[in-house]
A and B are shown apart, each in its own frame.
Chain A
Amino acid sequence: MAARIDFASLSLMDALDLAVLIEDEAKERYEEFAAQMDQHRTPEAARFFRLMAVNEAKHGQELADRRSQLFGGVTPTVTRAMVFEVEAPDYDQARAFMSPRQAMKAALASEVKAHAFFVAALPALKDAKVRALFEELRDEEVQHQALVKAELAKLPPDSGLSDDDFVDEPTAQ
C-alpha cells in the first residue's frame, strides 16, 4: 500500500523532497494536458499548459537546488507514491476544444487546491523549519494564483457565451 504522508514526522529534508515531487507531478500533468490538446487540435490551450509545465519545472528546480545545498545527496525517504494530485490539475479539468480561458481556470483551480493542501497540513506539522517552509509554499500558491489571474485579465472580455456552444455535438447524439 502506498505510504501516506505523516506530516508530524516530516523533516525539513522530507518536506523539501515532497515539495519537489509535488511540482514534478504538476509539471507532468500539464505536459499530459498539452499533449491532449495537441491531439485534439486545441493549440492555444496546449500553449498555455506548456507554459504552466515550464513554470512548475522551474519552481521544482529551485526547490531541488535548495534541497541539495542543505542535504547534498542524502537518499530521500519520501516518494512520488505519496503524492496524489496536490498541484496537478485533476484529469477531469481538461476538455476537447477548451478555450484559453477554460485552460487558465483549470490552472487556477489547481493553484487553489495546492494552497488548500498546505493550509490543511500546517496544524499537523511539528518541526518549526518545516512549518516555515510550508507557510512559504502556501504563500507562493497565492502568488501563482495571482499570475494566472493576470493572464486571465489579458484575455478579451468574456463573451458570456458558453465555450460548449462552439463545439459540434458528438456525431451520434
Chain B
Amino acid sequence: MSATCEFQAKDYKSDLKPIWCPGCGDYSVVQGIYRALAAVGRPPHEVAFISGIGCSSRIPGYTTAYGFNTVHGRALPIAQGIKLANPDLLVLAAGGDGDGFSIGGGHIAHLIRRNIDITYIVMDNQIYGLTKGQLSPTSQKGRTTCTSPYGSLENPVNPLLYVLAYGAGFVAQASPTDLAGMAATLEEAIRYPGFAFVNVQSPCVTYGEEAQQIKGLKAISENLSAIGHNPADRLAAMDLAQHYGEKLHLGVFYKNPEPPPTYDALIRERQAQLSQGALPKERILDLFIKK
C-alpha cells in the first residue's frame, strides 16, 4: 500500500472557528472540501473561494484559500470575474439554496452557457438559515415557516434539473450522510475542466424539518454508481434528477465525456489570434490618429 500526498486536509483549514450551530451539515461540507482540495493538491494560495451571503456562505473563511464572502446572490459573477482575470487560479464558489437559486438564480445559466471553469457548491438545506428560517426556493410545497405560516403554495426549484437543462458539463449530488463519497465527488468536480455543480444536501438542524436531517436523508439515499447509472448519459441523468426531494441520489449525475473548451481557454485563443495583427505597444496611439 502506498500513498504520497503533498498536501493534507489540515493545510486547507484556517484558524477561524466556525460559528455554525453545532450539528449543522455545513461542518461536514467544509471537511469534504478540505479533503478534496488535499487530494487535488493545489496549494492554498492558488485557490480562490468565493461565496454569497448565508450561513453556508461563511465557508471560505474556514479555509486557507483566498476567500471573498461577497454579496447575497452574487458569488457566481464575482467568481467568474476572478477566473477570467487570473485563469490559473482554481476557483470555487459556494453558497446556500437561497443564495444560488433565489436572488442569484439568474447567474447560473450564464456561467453554464459560457462554461466558466469553476466548481459551484450549493449547500441546500431547503431554508434560509442565516435569516432564521424563511421559505427558500427549494423548500417543499406545504412547508410551514415564518414566511409561510399556513404552508407554502409554491413548487420548489429542482436544482439538479435546472443545471442539467442549461447544459452543465458536470452535475453531482452529495451529503454529509457519506463524507467519503462527498470528498470524492467534490474532488471529481474540481478536476472537471469546465463548470461543475455539486448540490450538497446539508441539513439545517435549527430550522430544518425532521425528514431533512441525517436520519431522514439516510433513509432515502441511493448511490448512483450502485444502481448502475452511467454518468455519460445526460438523459438518464435528467430522468433520475426528477426524483429530487423524494430520493437522495448521491454521486455523479452527469459528466460530459468530451468536455468542450472553457470560456477562458477560448478567450486566450482569441487573444492569441488578435495579437498577431495587433500594433506593437509603442504604436498603440496610432489607433486614435485619423489617417
Interface residues of A (CB under 8 A from B): 1-6, 9-10, 14, 32-33, 35-37, 39-40, 77-82, 84-85, 90-96, 98, 170-173
Contacts and interface: CB of A to CB of B under 8 A. Distances in A.
B162 interface: no
B214 A81 contact: no
Contacts of B214: 90, 92
Interface stretch (B75-83, B85-93, B178-186, B233-241): B178-186
B22 A37 contact: yes
B132 A171 contact: yes
A36 B207 contact: no
B133 interface: yes
28 contacts: A1-B39, A1-B188, A2-B180, A2-B187, A33-B22, A36-B22, A39-B17, A40-B21, A79-B8, A80-B8, A84-B183, A90-B28, A90-B214, A91-B24, A91-B28, A91-B31, A92-B23, A92-B176, A92-B203, A93-B23, A96-B21, A96-B22, A96-B206, A170-B132, A170-B206, A170-B207, A172-B146, A173-B133
B55 to A, nearest CB: 13
B115 to A, nearest CB: 24
A93 B9 CA distance: 22
A35 B17 contact: yes
A138 to B, nearest CB: 21
Contacts of B205: 92, 95
Contact of A77 (B2, B146, B187): B2
Interface string B143-157: 001100000000000
Given A1-B187, A2-B39, A172-B132, A79 B5 contact: yes
Contacts of B27: 32, 91
Given A36-B22, A95-B205, A82 B3 contact: yes
Given A39-B19, A84-B180, A170 B133 contact: yes
B169 interface: no
Nearest to A2: B39
Interface in B121-166: 131-134, 145-146
A78 B5 CA distance: 10
A3 B38 CA distance: 12
B19 A2 contact: no
Given A39-B19, A92-B203, A170-B206, A78 B3 contact: yes
B69 interface: no
Contact of A91 (B23, B39, B188): B23
A77 B39 contact: no
Contacts of A96: 21-23, 206
Contacts of A77: 1-3
B255 interface: no
B193 to A, nearest CB: 17
Given A2-B183, A171-B132, A81 B22 contact: no
Interface string B249-290: 000000000000000000000000000000000000000000
B9 A95 contact: no
B3 A3 contact: yes
B85 to A, nearest CB: 31
B2 A81 contact: no
A163 to B, nearest CB: 13
A9 B2 CA distance: 11
Contacts of B19: 39
Contact of A81 (B28, B39, B146, B207): B39
B25 interface: yes
Contacts of A171: 132
A40 B22 contact: yes
Contacts of B188: 1
Given A2-B184, A172-B134, A94 B23 contact: yes
Given A91-B27, A96-B22, A171-B132, 6 more contacts: A90-B176, A92-B203, A92-B213, A95-B22, A95-B23, A96-B21
A98 B207 CA distance: 17
Contacts of B203: 92
Nearest to A4: B180
